[in-house]
Amino acid sequence: MSRRSIRRFSSKPVKESDVQRIVEIGQRAPTACNLQTYSIVWVRDEKIKEEVWEACGVKGSIRDAPVVFVICADVRRLGKVLDYQGYDHCLKHGYGYAHRLMSVMDASFVAENMTMAAECLGLGSVFVGSALANDKMTKALRLPRGVLPLTLLCIGYPDEQPPTRPRWASSSILHVDHYRDPSEKEIEAFLNHMDQELQKEGYYEKYGVRGPKYRYSDHIKSKTALEPWKKDDVQTISVVKKMGFLPSEAP
């Protein structure tokens, strides 16, 4: 309940044994049919790390994180095992799309386990979503077809103690027996709650270049503006296709 994203890290190094432990705990996450369709790239080389930061547009103190992972959905390794067995499997022919969707789930479960492991070791972490289907990332890490980057996971000792961030009321996200849309009253209460808590922390001023009048409603609008996403979707779909993660595409 005390987990929150850390964006300012101290210079204290993380022991390699702790990094290995975090990865091992990540591997204990649930995996669909025990196919283990995920991979983790630990970015250690400073030159490659710089390429990763630039690819994701990361600026500021997050770059001080001593441990940087790239979490990937990976159906390539599964295909290699099946090829080794001489089996004429569905992936080879562009089928088994559910396996590719489940690989995203597999990798996400792993990433969450890793954040919890980091917390238990006294470390902080933050996800950077701009790694998702990032073409520059695939080139920097030499990711082959069948491996799709999903997120950065940056870990280190915290150099800040921010509060936990506000969330929807559980009554709005927990549906019993059937789905229901939130009422206008719930939406208004949610927006007011988000604004009050984030303003109290000075969240947008602390981590960005936003003024004191910036609101959560401004934030979600900026993240879903129509015209930029028309362009971004073309690029994202192109990378997803190139890496073999669209239907009827052989990884």
Q: Are residues 125 and 227 in the same domain?
A: yes
Q: Are residues 28 and 107 in the same domain?
A: yes
Which pLDDT score, from 0 to 100, does residue 207 have? Answer: 87
For residue 6, is it within any domain?
no
Rounded Cα distance, 96 and 230, in Å? 28
Tokens of 211: 């003024």
Which pLDDT score, from 0 to 100, does residue 163 have? Answer: 96
Q: In Å, what is the CA distance from 40 to each residue of 35, 69, 71, 114, 171?
A: 15, 6, 5, 11, 35
Which pLDDT score, from 0 to 100, does residue 156 have? Answer: 98
Domain residues for the domain of 65 are: 16-162+223-242
Q: Are residues 122 and 203 in the same domain?
A: no
Q: What band does 197 get if pLDDT is binned at 50, 70 and 90?
A: very high
Q: Are residues 146 and 231 in the same domain?
A: yes
Q: What band does 222 get if pLDDT is binned at 50, 70 and 90?
A: very high
Please provide the average confidence, as pLDDT, over all residues in the chain.
96
Stretch 109-129: mean pLDDT:
98
Rounded Cα distance, 158 and 7, in Å? 8
Q: Are residues 114 and 190 in the same domain?
A: no
Decide: helix, strand or coil at residue 27. Answer: helix
Q: How far is CA 173 from the centre of its chain?
A: 21
Q: Are residues 194 and 113 in the same domain?
A: no
Q: What band does 172 get if pLDDT is binned at 50, 70 and 90?
A: very high
What residues pair up with 39 in beta bridges, in sequence order?
Answer: 72
Which pLDDT score, from 0 to 100, does residue 175 have? Answer: 97
Stretch 67-85: mean pLDDT:
98
pTM: 0.95
Stretch 97-102: mean pLDDT:
97
Asked if residue 209 has pLDDT above 80, the reply is: no
Which pLDDT score, from 0 to 100, does residue 211 have? Answer: 82
Asked if residue 147 has pLDDT above 80, the reply is: yes
For residue 3, is it within any domain?
no
Q: Are residues 99 and 186 in the same domain?
A: no
Share of the chain above pLDDT 90, in %: 94
55 touches 141 (CB < 8 A): no
Q: What band does 208 get if pLDDT is binned at 50, 70 and 90?
A: confident
Q: Are residues 51 and 114 in the same domain?
A: yes
For residue 9, is it within any domain?
no
Q: What band does 113 get if pLDDT is binned at 50, 70 and 90?
A: very high
Asked if residue 85 has pLDDT above 90, the reply is: yes
For residue 7, is it within any domain?
no
Q: Are residues 130 and 174 in the same domain?
A: no
Q: Are residues 147 and 181 in the same domain?
A: no
For residue 45, is it within any domain?
yes
Domain count for the chain, please give it.
2
Q: Are residues 109 and 174 in the same domain?
A: no
| CATH number where 140 lies | 3.40.109.10
Which pLDDT score, from 0 to 100, does residue 127 have? Answer: 98
Asked if residue 225 has pLDDT above 80, the reply is: yes
Q: Taking the CB of residue 61, how many other CB atoms lie within 10 A of it?
A: 14
Q: Are residues 142 and 187 in the same domain?
A: no
For residue 2, is it within any domain?
no
